[in-house]
A = this chain, B = another copy of it.
Amino acid sequence: MRKNLLIYGLLLAVLMVVLEVTKYRFLVLENRIEIYIGIIAIVFVVMGAYMGRKLTTPKEVIIEKLVAVPTTPSAPFILNETVLDKLGISKREHEVLQLMAEGMSNQEIADKTFVSVNTVKTHVSNVLLKLDAKRRTQAVIKARELSLIP
C-alpha cells in the first residue's frame, strides 16, 4: 500500500517534469490547453481508479453457489488441496481433522500433537465451522467426501 503511494507520487513528479519541459510547445499550439487538461485528467482518473481498487475493501453480499466435487471411492487417496484452501483449512487444522477421523478424543489429539487440549478444541471448532458440521462425526464424513482425508 505504502509502496503504491510512493509510485504514484513519483509518477506525478515525472509527469510534471515532462510537462514542464514540453509546455512551451503545447502553449504554442494556439493555447489549446484543453487537450493538455484532458490528457492529465485521463491519466489521473485511471491512476485514481486503480488506487481506489487497491485501497478499499469491498463490502460483501454473500451468495452461496454449489460446486460439485468429484470423488473417486477406494482409489489411492489424493489430498484435494484445492478444496482444502478453498475452505481455508490450515495445516494444523487438517492434522487435527485427520486424528479426529481416527477416533481420537481431544485429549488424545493434544497428547499426540504436544499442545494443550484448549488448542485442540480451537482447531476442532474451526474445522467444524469451515466444514459446516455440527459434530466431529459429521465433519469426518464431509472431509472424507471432499477428499481431505483418506
| Residues of A in contact with B (beta carbons under 8 Å apart) | 8, 12, 15-16, 19-20, 23, 31, 33-34, 37-38, 40-41, 43-53, 55-75, 83, 86-87, 100-105, 133-142, 145-146
Could you say which of A43, A61, A67, A140 has the most chain B C-beta atoms within 10 Å of its C-beta?
A67
Q: How far is the CA of A100 from the CA of B141 in the complex (A)?
A: 11
B66:A65 contact, CB within 8 angstroms: yes
User: In the complex, what's the smallest C-beta–C-beta distance from A68 to chain B, in angstroms?
Assistant: 3
A56:B63 contact, CB within 8 angstroms: no
Output the nearest chain B residue to A23 by Cβ-Cβ distance.
B33
B20:A34 contact, CB within 8 angstroms: yes
B residues near A52, Cβ cutoff 8 Å: 48-53, 56
List 10 tightest A-B contacts by C-beta distance, closest first: A48-B48, A49-B52, A52-B52, A68-B145, A103-B138, A44-B44, A45-B48, A68-B69, A103-B137, A48-B49
User: In the complex, what's the smallest C-beta–C-beta distance from A148 to chain B, in angstroms?
Assistant: 10
Output the nearest chain B residue to A56 by Cβ-Cβ distance.
B53
Could you say which of A20, A64, A133 has the most chain B C-beta atoms within 10 Å of its C-beta?
A64
User: In the complex, what's the smallest C-beta–C-beta distance from A128 to chain B, in angstroms?
Assistant: 11
Q: How far is the CA of A145 from the CA of B74 in the complex (A)?
A: 12
Given A62-B61, A66-B146, A86-B64, A103:B20 Cβ within 8 A: no
User: In the complex, what's the smallest C-beta–C-beta distance from A114 to chain B, in angstroms?
Assistant: 21
